[in-house]
Structure 1
């Protein structure tokens, strides 16, 4: 249900958009509506080849770069201008949904195909990118493809291993890429002028306000940590509690403390999660000796996030000392909040006024997206599409195809404004 009125018929092809999204969701399908399409897997490669075919149908020339990004290009009448990049990702979480990332790629292709069919000739070159490994769940480091094209890969990233001991380098080779040419994937400074991304909201605001589409004003800054605790194993039935060096008990206390710190200001949008935990030796009757877990801390206020981070480190020190366990903390990701371009936001508002009879909701994004990485080199703008009950990273993730079409129509109209498209 939506309380917003549409002023004009949409130009994009709703049926084609829906058909492609449904077909893509069959690759790596789990349960009735879920998807498991891990980056650089055989399912990911199958999806990339399918999306590449659709890019060709939209009139784009295509290539797969050294970091696994699928790139479709429409050369503008003045290729010397900084280009417009539009896109998102098609890799998924291991227990994910069918709309996370995918609507931003398939919607971008649909927008370009509609522009071609309408006879538009963009002045600046437009590229649609399906970024490699946005999710970061396989190698514990996300935004890989986006960071790859802007020259922000970190030392040792190609040697990161998945749960089966496969390195990212090996996975890239298996995927058909040449990791020795990673530096060639980096775009020249100034080549990318702006970036647009459409994504499901992954939150409840649009659903609760019964609005199909919203505009993003910025993205919270994520802090990802990996914490490793080392205690001492012993028999669960014979070692008295006061003499134990139980790494799991220490991890549990840290997890609880993290939740407390993130809840100190109830009205603040701070969120914190321990989402992955490994225990060794992982036996019923042995005191846990080694625990490895992840921390995900996000906030739109960098000072507040830094304050919580410092308090967390102090708490970890105290807890580890008390339980006589040692610690190692690795910072996997640490990004400042990023704010959307005022100019692009105004263009989106202008495009929205031609489509809707009222202004659209505007909101910050808690989850990070490929736009977070791209924001470090260019202006960016984002469109959110409502998802039912705000559920995401879950097979129950659901979005209405009419809402997706409206978001794609808004994306289409924004691309026309941003690319200075000229009608032939």
Structure 2
């Protein structure tokens, strides 16, 4: 079989696997698969089978991650961790997260079938929760591996009032044993994630893959705005304390500040209105504010400007406003040696070596606390993500798999311990 036919076969098989995983979704457009849900449970059965085909032994850990280990990792040899998250946003796409689970498993299976033995430990992790869609508490699984999991997260509740701890226990995890999930830094020599770019750069440059240099910093806040309910037909417009009107003005002000600040992006992504009735003045609105920038100073300036504007709006409209941070992660750099190793694999596969910055957060934000991180981006159509129309091509799937196979085989043995920045 020629290299081109092998690459085509890899692409077809990977796309078929991703299609199969996408069927484990709540009804509706796109893919909706939440942490500790029935869909999560079902997709792990599929992933566990992929792990076995790749020569790995699967195991559900205490934090809800599915971890597949090769024999060397199981014996405690120094290990490279690969993987990404299985969960999605509501009505998301097939590839965000799941590509980084399916592709390394396929690469490992292809190397195994070719008789290539890797002289180091390998783990592939299907992280349980990265998006935070269900509990608004992200990076649960990767923080567990990194040893930075906050037990207070177990008290977070979903829309039905179920706590994260309760959901995890019902799923088969063990909230009390999460501290034991943490890896010893000396046992791991790196973490590498494959992910769709979620942006337009690779498509604009007509390149299948790119090498990430750093991951953006992210912070999230929950704002609660309280006014006063009343009959929508009998209460005069003047003097109304309409929480939704105030929230709408705040959303517009946030958008203005974000557009006026270089290197800062953000979104008000979720609003909950009470009592949410057609003929009642809204008494309460809870909404989220997310800010992203590689610069902590830029985020701080933007946050201060937006929150001060929201307080002015609340005072003007006679509303009560409170805010609290719900999540924060600083920008982190990818390790230069992993960047160079991925570049070498790209060159060996006749792929351009494009370096680019990630404007999205990933499990690497947490894994950086444990070990060196690296990341390979794959081109996605129109840079679209978190959307049912999210798409990659079969050809790019095959090309990215070949690059990762070359990267894994070229490592030889576990690199010596490196001093981290």
* TM-score, structure 2 normalization: 0.92
Q: Which digits, 9 at most, give the CA deviation of each residue in 1:172-205, with x for residues without a partner? A: 1221222222222222243322100001111122
Matched, 1:319 2:313: yes
Unaligned stretches of 5+ residues in structure 2: 416-421
- Give the corresponding residue for 1:27: 24
TM-score by length of 1: 0.91
1:414 paired with 2:410, answer no
Could you say if the C-alpha distance between residues 275 and 419 of structure 1 is closer, same or farther in structure 2, counting changes exceeding 3 Å?
farther
Contact 1:12 1:110 in 2 (8 A): no
Evaluate the alpha carbon distance shift between residue 7 and residue 401 of structure 1 in structure 2; reply closer, same or farther with a 3 A threshold. Answer: closer
Q: In the TM superposition, what whole-angstrom CA distance separates every residue of 1:190-246 from its partner, at most 9, and x where no partner exists?
A: 332210000111112222222111111111111111111111112223333442222
What is the CA-CA distance between 1:317 and the residue it aligns to?
2.0
Matches for 1:241-256 after TM superposition, within 5 Å: 241-256=237-252
Q: Which runs of 5+ in 1 are unaligned?
A: 1-5
State the secondary structure of the residue aligned to 2:353.
coil
> Which residue of 102, 116, 120 maps to 2:116?
120
* Distance in 2 (alpha carbons) for counterparts of 1:307 and 1:419: 46
Is 1:371 aligned to 2:367, yes or no?
Answer: no
The alpha-carbon deviation at position 364 of structure 1 amounts to 1.1
Structure 1 counterpart of 2:381: 388
SS at match of 2:233: coil
Report the counterpart of residue 229 of structure 2 in structure 1: 233
Aligned counterparts of 1:83 and 1:419: Cα–Cα separation in 2: 12
Is 2:85 the partner of 1:89? yes
Give the structure 2 partner of residue 3 of structure 1: none
| CA 1:274–1:419: 2 relative to 1, 3 Å | farther
| CA gap 1:418/1:324 in 2 versus in 1, 3 angstroms | farther
> Hey, what's the Cα distance between the residues in 2 that align with 1:86 and 1:395?
26
Matched, 1:211 2:207: yes
1:221 corresponds, among 207, 210, 217, to 217
> Is the partner of 1:20 in helix, strand or coil?
helix
More moved, 46-55 vs 361-370: 361-370
Instruction: Say whether 1:329 aligns with 2:326.
Output: no
> How many residues end up aligned between the 2 structures?
413
Equivalent residue, structure 1, for 2:392? 399
- Cα distance in 1 between the residues matched to 2:204 and 2:216: 21
Find 1:341's aligned residue among 320, 335, 355.
335
Aligned residue number for residue 48 of structure 1: 44
Secondary structure, in 3 states, of the residue corresponding to 2:186?
coil
Matches within 5 A, 1:92-111: 92-111=88-107
Aligned mate of 2:180, from 173, 179, 184:
184
| Aligned-residue CA RMSD (Å) | 2.3
Report if aligned partners of 1:215, 1:345 keep a CA contact under 8 Å in 2.
yes
Over 3 Å counting, the alpha-carbon distance change for 1:78 and 1:332 in structure 2 is closer
**Deviation, structure 1 residue 14:** 3.4
Counterpart Cα distance in 1 of 2:4 and 2:334: 26
Q: Is the counterpart of residue 260 in structure 1 residue 256 in structure 2?
A: yes
Question: C-alpha separation between the residues in 2 aligned to 1:419 and 1:105?
Answer: 22
